[in-house]
């Protein structure tokens, strides 16, 4: 008799798991439950849909429900919310959000890929009409519909997503304010980087409020009128809340599964939870940091896909282990690309390294070649072993892509001296004869203890 | 008494050696001889000077003669050609090309950094006025002066430099023909890449003649009138010869130093030659291939600089070893960027690997993000160990820069499976959720023997 595999969540992690498991074991009888009306969408593209660069939400979708069923043999029930998990009876209860009906589904194996939800701060006015979150396609459609050119939007939270939305709403013709509670933007970056991001935003017409803790959203007739922060009160037509996410681990918690950092579901390297019939993957689950070896919670799109594949392999009977998360990330704020991988200085010190940082500014092409730009590059290193622990880069698109070279270097535990020996590509239109990576490495070598 | 260090050659390798040695041992009495009138110039920028993108040859120069003397304490004698090396008496004879006088200079230590010369094929008409080579600044000035918009130029040789000159002369308003003796351009790349390069050139108005062996240059009144090849005869106003270079090792040979591959000067990892008082570096010297461990001759700008530094360290009394050459290179042909590192399939098989290649085409950004481009990426792998041996990429500038990630991967001996585990950066404007590198790695994994 074929085994029943139930998957809760139909985006990156859940569908990666479903597809991989089905390929390995075509006899699996799979059911995927997805709360929203969309599956398999690139949620990282939502800001660009909101801003109008991407026209239809369908463009964000890689596989539709009928394609999942017909091409991959995987039925997905959309608008179905799993409301209860009984890990003893091995059943889930799902509610059809269209008609309110509930049904109980048995499983032999279960994959929890419930993702994460935006943090909803407990402040006055948070429920007013005109307060938006951006997590799924429906959120995106609501926000896009509301984003009328000429209106004013306050964005709460100056992280990657907040800044992407700031760029996109500005491009869409809105007047944008960003409120960041901390004294600078993106504090895992060096201060000079934060300053450049700030200047880039201001140059493009975004007003940034730093050290501004949001205290209330004022409304009239249920409609937002202004945002009150610890420093300023700004009149506005809408508010976008973007202060981070929390893992959707309530079902897991209810079923008694072990939880870890920030309440994310605890898993081993095969994505198996503390219940051997249940796997978890994506933004609802913990992962291991590949540098420190310790559990961490860094919810990102690539990671969700990869964790999903590993869960699917494991469910399908193939041994697979997740290599871990190195915290690689990138974004673009107008013409300023920002990328990072590995540990920040603070994280490295927290992890027990005698860490230092080494920051350089260098042209990204030969000095005499037109249109070169300055790349800011910061290395975090262990001054005892000389090992590279983290890197942050900023500048052109090619400056951001350079961080991938350091992803590989950090993955391999390379020292800054070994990085300095790399035979990187060179031609005047692409790089200077000593690439910024080599300059940073040779400077960082001076910080290694003799 | 201070030691006398003589350096033959005042560009990348020679001046890197001089500067490093002087920093380590300020008592060194250094003399640098440079045959041409320019020192410390970026010769890889010459095509862009010829095409007019860079206005003055001085823009290519990073340090002038007076700066070398005043800032670094290193006197350089330009227009001085070393005509004789006596390694027994430890002297060099240098001719002042301005007045024809000769003098003998003693040395305690000698660095040979004589570079390479363009191959000059023995065909009728090679000495005609209107036949150009592109190696030093004077060559560049001559070629630029001759490149009159509307005139026709035949370029012999479809390598990186030939194609860069083709682009630049086309941009400068000339009608350009490229003659390549082999049946396709850049044969170390996969065939599909060669085809794209061909189409890019043709789309931009360059006429490419493949399998066309050049037989003669016809002249009238000492002036070029046409180029005769095995397939076509093309009327033209000028010819650029770009069929490769040979190491300038005549002095070394005369002095009895050991020569290696292609007549390049044989050196150890500290750049010392078979004579313990003589070092050689840059395009006149051999290097070790860091993958095969065998000597190779791959003259490139980055390598010349690094070899020069190592020679300078060694001369200055600091132990230094050259990490070797991985054959990393990049160029741009109009809007098509091409980069490569490591071994080609043929080189890998020649080196004894049971090698295979794996070619993919993948978007360089999220499919829904505007202005994404296709990246062609080819992996060369050892099917026994799964080790990545080489990679070639083509597409946008960021596609080219991605090859640097594979430089690091190959340097560390990573398998394609380990590459597949890399936590590369992702955001829709910069990369797809599975970067082309990860797609290529996962495809290549299928070619590894179980």
DSSP secondary structure letters along B71-108:
HH---EETTEEEEEEETTTTEEEEEETTT--EEEEE-S
Confidence tier at B103 by pLDDT (50, 70, 90): very high
Kindly state the average pLDDT of the residues B329-334. Answer: 97
Ramachandran angles phi, psi of B174, nearest 5°: -90, 160
Kindly state the average pLDDT of the residues A402-423. Answer: 98
Query: What's the confidence (pLDDT) of residue B442?
Result: 97
Kindly state the average pLDDT of the residues A40-50. Answer: 93
B44 catalytic? Reply is yes
Considering only the beta carbons, identify the residue of B42, B332, B423 that sits closest to A407. Answer: B423
For residues A7 and A31, is the Cβ–Cβ distance under 8 A? yes
Tell me the three state secondary structure of residue B205.
coil
Residues B244 and B339: their CA atoms lie apart, in Å, by 18
pLDDT above 90: residue A21:
yes
Tell me the three state secondary structure of residue A325.
strand
Considering only the beta carbons, identify the residue of A301, A337, A434 that sits closest to B430. Answer: A337
> Cβ–Cβ of B329/A425 closer than 8 Å?
yes
Confidence tier at B222 by pLDDT (50, 70, 90): confident
Q: What is the pLDDT of residues A343-356, one digit of tens each?
A: 999 999 999 999 99
Rg (CA), chain A: 23
> Cβ–Cβ of B401/A331 closer than 8 Å?
no
Q: Is A130 left (phi over 0), alpha (psi -120 to 50) or beta?
A: left
Task: Please name which of A392, A394, A396 lies closest in space to residue A371, comparing C-alpha atoms.
Answer: A396
Q: Does B60 touch chain A (CB under 8 A)?
A: yes
Mean pLDDT (chain B) is 96
> Cβ–Cβ of B401/A431 closer than 8 Å?
yes
DSSP state of B57: G
Measured between CA atoms, how close is B403 to chain A, in angstroms?
8
Kindly state the average pLDDT of the residues A413-438. Answer: 97
Residues A159 and B125: their CA atoms lie apart, in Å, by 66
Residues A420 and A423: their CA atoms lie apart, in Å, by 9
pLDDT above 90: residue B450:
no
> Tokens at residue B177, please?
């023909």
Query: What's the confidence (pLDDT) of residue A450?
Result: 84
> Cβ–Cβ of B428/A48 closer than 8 Å?
yes
Catalytically annotated residue among B44, B281, B336, B358: B44
pLDDT above 90: residue B1:
no
CA within 13 Å, CB half, A155: 29
For residues B322 and B373, is the Cβ–Cβ distance under 8 A? no
Q: Does A302 touch chain B (CB under 8 A)?
A: yes
Residues A91 and B396: their CA atoms lie apart, in Å, by 50
User: Which residues are paired to A247 by β-bridges?
Assistant: A116
Residues B399 and B195: their CA atoms lie apart, in Å, by 18
> ∠B7-B11-B17 over CA atoms, to 5°?
45
In b/e form, how buried is each residue of B47-74, taking b as 16+ CB within 10 angstroms?
Answer: bbbbbebbeebebbbbbebeebeeebeb
Contacts of B429 in chain A (CB under 8 A): 48, 332, 337, 397
Strands B278-280 and B109-112: parallel
> Tokens at residue B219, please?
């002249």
Where does residue A98 rank: exposed (0-12), middle (13-18), buried (19+ CB within 10 A)?
Answer: exposed
> Tokens at residue B363, please?
């978007």
To test the contact with chain B by mutation, choose from A318, A369, A410, A428 the residue with the greatest count of B C-beta atoms within 10 A, namely A428
Mean pLDDT (chain A) is 96
Residues A185 and A191: their CA atoms lie apart, in Å, by 9
To test the contact with chain A by mutation, choose from B310, B362, B427, B441 the residue with the greatest count of A C-beta atoms within 10 A, namely B427
Contacts of B53 in chain A (CB under 8 A): 369-370
Cβ atoms within 10 A of the Cβ of A228, count? 18
Catalytically annotated residue among A44, A153, A226, A281: A44
Cβ atoms within 10 A of the Cβ of B105, count? 17
Residues B247 and B283: their CA atoms lie apart, in Å, by 6
Domains, chain B = 4-45+60-117+245-315 (3.50.50.60), 131-241 (3.50.50.60), 335-445 (3.50.50.60)
Q: Is A171 left (phi over 0), alpha (psi -120 to 50) or beta?
A: alpha
Considering only the beta carbons, identify the residue of A328, A411, A431 that sits closest to B425. Answer: A328
Chain B residue with Cα closest to A61: B368
Where does residue B177 rank: exposed (0-12), middle (13-18), buried (19+ CB within 10 A)?
Answer: buried
Q: Count, in order, helices (H) and strands (E) of chain B.
A: 12, 25
pTM: 0.96
Q: What is the pLDDT of residues A71-128, one digit of tens each?
A: 999 999 999 999 999 999 999 999 999 999 999 999 999 999 999 999 999 999 999 9
Residues A112 and A107: their CA atoms lie apart, in Å, by 12
Query: Quick one: what percent of chain A has pLDDT higher than 70?
Result: 100
pLDDT above 80: residue A1:
no
Query: What's the confidence (pLDDT) of residue B156?
Result: 98
Contacts of A423 in chain B (CB under 8 A): 290, 302-303, 323-328, 341, 407, 411
Note which residues in 332-391 of chain B have CB less than 8 A from chain A: 332, 337, 339, 341, 366-370
Considering only the beta carbons, identify the residue of B48, B398, B421 that sits closest to A401. Answer: B398
Note which residues in 62-81 of chain B have CB less than 8 A from chain A: 62
Confidence tier at B445 by pLDDT (50, 70, 90): very high
Query: What's the confidence (pLDDT) of residue B62?
Result: 87
DSSP secondary structure letters along A122-189:
--TTTTSBTEE--SSHHHHHHHHHH--TT-EEEEE--SHHHHHHHHHHHHTT-EEEEEESSSSSSTTS
Query: What's the confidence (pLDDT) of residue A222?
Result: 84
Counted across chains A and B, CB pairs separated by less than 8 A come out at: 211
Residues A155 and B165: their CA atoms lie apart, in Å, by 50
Ramachandran angles phi, psi of B200, nearest 5°: -65, -45
Contacts of B327 in chain A (CB under 8 A): 423
Q: Does A445 touch chain B (CB under 8 A)?
A: no
Q: What is the pLDDT of residues B226-238, one digit of tens each?
A: 999 999 999 999 9
Q: Does B405 touch chain A (CB under 8 A)?
A: yes
Helix (H) or strand (E) holding A118: strand A116-118
Q: What is the pLDDT of residues A22-39, one digit of tens each?
A: 999 999 999 999 999 999
Task: Please name which of B175, B174, B196, B176 lies closest in space to residue B184, comparing C-alpha atoms.
Answer: B196
Q: What is the pLDDT of residues B113-154, one digit of tens each?
A: 999 999 999 999 999 999 999 999 999 999 999 999 999 999
> Tokens at residue B116, please?
């390479």
Largest Cα separation within chain A, whole Å, is 71
User: Percent helix, strand, coil in chain A (nearest 5)?
Assistant: 30, 30, 40
Q: What is the pLDDT of residues B31-56, one digit of tens each?
A: 999 999 999 998 999 999 999 999 99
pLDDT above 80: residue B435:
yes
Contacts of A431 in chain B (CB under 8 A): 330, 401
Query: Quick one: what percent of chain A has pLDDT higher than 90?
Result: 97
Task: Please name which of A116, A126, A77 lies closest in space to residue A97, comparing C-alpha atoms.
Answer: A77
Chain A residue with Cα closest to B12: A433
Q: Does B269 touch chain A (CB under 8 A)?
A: no
User: Percent helix, strand, coil in chain B (nearest 5)?
Assistant: 30, 30, 40
> Tokens at residue B317, please?
């009394």
Task: Please name which of B275, B274, B280 lies closest in space to residue B308, comparing C-alpha atoms.
Answer: B280
Residues A129 and A123: their CA atoms lie apart, in Å, by 14
> Tokens at residue A56, please?
């239809």
For residues A228 and A235, is the Cβ–Cβ distance under 8 A? no
Chain B residue with Cα closest to A60: B368
Kindly state the average pLDDT of the residues B349-372. Answer: 96
Strands B238-241 and A102-106: unpaired
Task: Please name which of A34, A19, A22, A85 lies closest in space to residue A277, comparing C-alpha atoms.
Answer: A85
Query: What's the confidence (pLDDT) of residue A87?
Result: 97
Q: Does B321 touch chain A (CB under 8 A)?
A: no
Query: Quick one: what percent of chain B has pLDDT higher than 90?
Result: 97
> Cβ–Cβ of B398/A398 closer than 8 Å?
yes
Contacts of A337 in chain B (CB under 8 A): 429-430
Kindly state the average pLDDT of the residues B165-183. Answer: 98
Contacts of A339 in chain B (CB under 8 A): 425, 430
Helix (H) or strand (E) holding A20: helix A12-24
């Amino acid at each position: 008799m074929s085994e029943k595999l139930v998957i809760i969540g139909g985006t990156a992690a859940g569908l990666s798991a479903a597809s991989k498991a089905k390929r390995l074991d075509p006899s699996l009888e799979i059911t995927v439950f997805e709360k929203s009306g969309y599956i398999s969408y690139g949620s990282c593209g939502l800001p660009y849909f909101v801003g109008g660069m991407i026209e239809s939400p369908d463009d964000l979708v890689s596989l539709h429900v009928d394609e999942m069923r017909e091409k991959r043999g995987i039925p997905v029930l959309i608008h179905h919310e799993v409301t209860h998990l009984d890990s003893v009876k091995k059943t889930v209860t799902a509610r059809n959000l269209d008609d309110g009906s509930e049904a109980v589904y048995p499983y032999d194996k279960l994959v929890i890929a419930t993702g994460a939800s935006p943090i909803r701060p407990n402040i006055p006015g948070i429920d007013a009409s005109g307060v938006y979150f951006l997590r799924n396609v429906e959120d995106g459609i609501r926000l896009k519909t509301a984003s009328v050119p000429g209106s004013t939007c306050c964005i709460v939270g100056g992280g990657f997503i907040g800044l992407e939305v700031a760029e996109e709403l500005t491009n869409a013709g809105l007047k944008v304010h960003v409120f960041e509670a901390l004294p600078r933007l993106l504090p895992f970056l060096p201060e000079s980087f934060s300053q450049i991001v700030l200047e880039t935003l201001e140059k493009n017409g975004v007003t940034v409020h730093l050290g501004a803790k949001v205290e209330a959203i004022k409304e009239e007739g249920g409609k937002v009128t202004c945002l009150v922060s610890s420093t300023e009160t700004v009149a506005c037509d809408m508010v976008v809340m973007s202060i981070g996410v929390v893992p959707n681990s309530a079902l897991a918690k209810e079923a008694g599964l072990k939880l870890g950092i920030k309440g994310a579901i605890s898993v081993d390297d095969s994505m198996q939870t503390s219940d051997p019939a249940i796997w978890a993957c994506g933004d609802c689950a913990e992962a291991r940091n590949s540098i420190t070896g310790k559990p961490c919670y860094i919810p990102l799109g690539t990671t969700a896909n990869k964790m999903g594949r590993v869960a699917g392999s494991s469910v399908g009977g193939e041994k697979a282990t997740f290599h871990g998360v190195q915290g690689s990330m990138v974004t673009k704020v107008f013409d300023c690309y920002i990328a990072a991988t590995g540990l920040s200085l603070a994280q490295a010190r927290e992890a027990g390294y005698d860490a230092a940082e080494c920051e350089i500014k260098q042209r990204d092409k030969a000095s005499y070649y037109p249109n070169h730009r300055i790349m800011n590059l910061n290395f975090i290193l262990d001054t005892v072993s000389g090992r590279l622990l983290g890197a942050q880069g900023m500048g052109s698109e090619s400056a951001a892509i350079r961080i991938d070279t350091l992803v590989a270097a950090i993955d391999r535990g390379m020292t800054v001296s070994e990085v300095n020996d790399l035979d990187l590509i060179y031609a005047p239109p692409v790089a200077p004869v000593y690439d910024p990576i080599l300059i940073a490495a040779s400077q960082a070598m001076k910080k290694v203890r003799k």
